[in-house]
Chains A and B, each alone.
Chain A
């Protein structure tokens, strides 16, 4: 291949992926590393890349400590109950105590935050959410990152991390290719912050054909954060904790502002409230600790998101769909109606397009809701990602190995979706995690931990060959057939993605099986994933754009394998409503009140699974009784 090799040497902090986590890291790194070389590699254009490309209408994580609203420990309690106990409280607390400073900074940079005219405090959508006009959220944080970085490489897709040959298990940079020029890019760096986002499209989406890109999390969220870290042998945690979202049907428009601010509510096809009637049986399955039917209506203690999904799914399966969002009352108020529409235009325009196309005016018709296909991510209401060190002043020894947000690979840090056990960080929390990771990365370098890194030409050349192999493969075999896409020697990236999605859907608990799986199914799924892995060696890319899709698919495949292994390992149904282990339909606190940790051996591809202790650092405050 005639592509040039471009080497960027002597980097101190390399940021892979510049969404909310990556921009936070690049910005903050400059403060702690005045004279350090900070480089960003982003597969799209930093101005509109990542999950926030369209914008957002709310910042979902803001304490408001300054207004006496919440303290960080309150947020830990909330995230803990929502995830049915399974969170890294040290990391959550650490994010929560810094997140307000991030949000105040955003406001100073010009992000329009709405204010409550009566109190002067930010307009709350819910206890943790504040409302923004966030169409330009991403361009604003991108500007901050661009001001701090020495160089931003747009359209460079990172495919692998480089490993140090002088010291085992230490990172030494990353490699990838430019999607425009095709050039091979080598970044030699003392530290790497991986912030390459979560994984959509690993389960078969409900949308089909032309609409297959209409998924809730962005179709370009290719699980690269996981793929890169798993490939380098970093330990991962909570990968079984995939999320299913209740959203407006087909468009996947957000429901947060509708429930919380517009005070809309749901009902079944008969116009009845249905949620509470599924809870008594569910209480037996998950235990009173997580769902106390009698007490919960008296207290403010929230019901875990997954359990509300459980009620939704069961009601639909019982034949009492569709579930409707009752908007007709709220939308009679013109101000609330406007907010309802702005909410979509700010972050999910496709929903507005859909209602315009189907003449659904929520003022006169209650729209349908649905439960989505599952997603794998670490920053929304779920906590998949790398097993990372916590901060020095909070973390117990099991959770602490020196540098905040450092993975089990030395010099390799994570932020946002990349970090495991830290749900409910959302956009502001992801940016904050990036800041924390950047400070720690600079400290790691100042402590001399990144000295003497060695990367051989052999490693660089081997990766180069590997990266362009799909294009070589295409060239060699395309002329064996007349035309078309059916070839006995290869599959193309779309065909591979379809296979992955079908397999994950059927064996790992996707939509078509009502989120149900069991040990037998998972074992078959793992076998099929191995076969797919073999075929991915023979994937063919017709051009550079397809090469991008090929590598996204490979990252999605690695992510899926981890999800499958984790789901098999956790022998209980911890989060009914996200997935069900049909062979163990109960929460089992006696054996599974633990975090799960996996490692894939980079040489052999073998997985090892272990249980890690779950420390509850924050006590359980008695919940305030409702007035």
Chain B
């Protein structure tokens, strides 16, 4: 379709509508359930599939080249920090389960609030450095990489 919604599972919560980067998951005004209004602008990105709390959304491969009868399902678990995929081939001969981490740290705590870190000094402002540099470039020692440090010249054309 490429995405489609199972009528009996959808409760019209709108989470897929909220997330679709292509703005194509919409709630049907009559049945009050979601559907894909523009399949030919769908990327099969699975953002809506992952977002649906009721597993109501599925994908059927693009009609111009994908035969019927396959399935690629996904479960994304933020609390456990993992994503699980199940791929079933059309002929049923391959049935794969794959698992991957989505984050190494709990959400919401490890990104600094830059409003709370000390203001940059004038030296820092005048330099070419960015937040947390040079520390974050090397994590150990050494400053920002310059052409001079690499023994190269500035502002000349030498490529021949």
Contact = CB atoms under 8 A, between A and B. Distances in A.
20 contacts: A32-B131, A34-B115, A53-B21, A101-B132, A140-B111, A148-B114, A213-B42, A341-B96, A349-B46, A355-B89, A356-B71, A357-B70, A361-B93, A394-B147, A394-B154, A545-B26, A616-B159, A617-B152, A617-B158, A619-B158
Given A209-B40, A392-B128, A53 B45 contact: yes
B111 A393 contact: no
A220 B130 contact: no
Interface string A208-227: 11111111001110000000
Given A342-B100, A435-B131, A619-B158, A143 B64 contact: no
B137 to A, nearest CB: 5
Interface in A391-422: 391-396
B41 interface: yes
Q: Which 4 A-B pairs have the closest CB atoms?
A: A616-B159, A211-B62, A110-B105, A101-B136
Contacts of A105: 132, 136
Given A211-B40, A617-B156, A358 B90 contact: yes
B89 A111 contact: no
Nearest to B159: A616
Contact of B87 (A218, A352, A435): A352
A335 interface: no
Majority SS at the chain A contact face: helix
B70 A353 contact: yes
A342 B98 contact: yes
Interface stretch (A65-73, A235-243, A460-468): A65-73
Given A104-B139, A352-B72, A545-B37, A136 B102 contact: yes
Contacts of B59: 349, 353
A527 to B, nearest CB: 28
Interface in B78-111: 83, 85, 87-91, 93-94, 96, 98, 100-108, 110-111
A617 B23 contact: no
B93 to A, nearest CB: 7
B100 A111 contact: no
A247 interface: no
B132 A354 contact: no
Contacts of A346: 100
A210 B21 contact: no
Interface in A1-36: 27-28, 30-32, 34
Contacts of B144: 97-98
A407 to B, nearest CB: 20
Contact of B43 (A54, A147, A395): A54
Contacts of B44: 213-214, 349-350, 353
Contacts of B120: 31-32
B130 A435 contact: yes
A550 to B, nearest CB: 13
B136 A353 contact: no
B92 to A, nearest CB: 9
A615 interface: yes
A44 interface: yes
Contacts of B89: 355-356, 359, 361
A82 interface: no
Given A31-B131, A391-B128, A338 B70 contact: no
Given A147-B114, A443-B125, A218 B2 contact: no
B76 interface: yes
Nearest to B64: A211
B83 to A, nearest CB: 5
A45 B19 contact: yes
Interface in B7-48: 18-24, 26, 37-47
Contacts of B24: 545
A316 interface: no
B132 A212 contact: no
A94 to B, nearest CB: 8
A47 B19 contact: yes
A72 B18 CA distance: 40
Contacts of A50: 21
B137 A100 contact: yes
B98 A349 contact: no
Interface string A531-542: 000000000000
Given A45-B19, A100-B137, 13 more contacts: A98-B144, A101-B136, A101-B137, A105-B136, A135-B102, A136-B102, A207-B65, A209-B40, A210-B1, A358-B67, A359-B91, A545-B37, A620-B158
Interface of B: 1-2, 18-24, 26, 37-47, 59, 61-72, 74, 76, 83, 85, 87-91, 93-94, 96, 98, 100-108, 110-115, 117, 119-120, 125, 128, 130-134, 136-140, 144-147, 150, 152, 154-160
A624 B87 CA distance: 44
Contacts of A97: 137, 144-146
Contacts of B76: 135
B21 A45 contact: yes
Contacts of B61: 350, 353-354, 356-357
Contact of A143 (B108, B117, B156): B108
B72 to A, nearest CB: 5
A354 B68 CA distance: 10
A354 B155 contact: no
Nearest to A141: B111
B133 A98 contact: yes
Contact of A65 (B1, B115, B138): B138
Nearest to A96: B145
A394 B106 CA distance: 40
Contacts of B1: 210
A31 B155 contact: no
**In the complex, which of the residues A31, A65, A144, A392 has the most CB atoms of chain B within 10 Å of its own CB atom?**
A31
A110 B110 contact: yes
A586 interface: no
Contacts of A393: 128, 146, 154
A147 to B, nearest CB: 5
A268 B21 CA distance: 37
B137 A144 contact: no
Contacts of A219: 22, 41-43
A109 interface: yes
Given A209-B40, A218-B43, A353 B66 contact: yes
Contact of B103 (A72, A136, A213, A342): A136
Contacts of B26: 545
**In the complex, which of the residues B68, B69, B130, B139 has the most CB atoms of chain A within 10 Å of its own CB atom?**
B130
B157 A616 contact: yes
A44 B47 CA distance: 12
A361 B150 CA distance: 48
A135 B98 contact: no
A49 interface: yes
Contact of A72 (B67, B107, B139, B145): B145
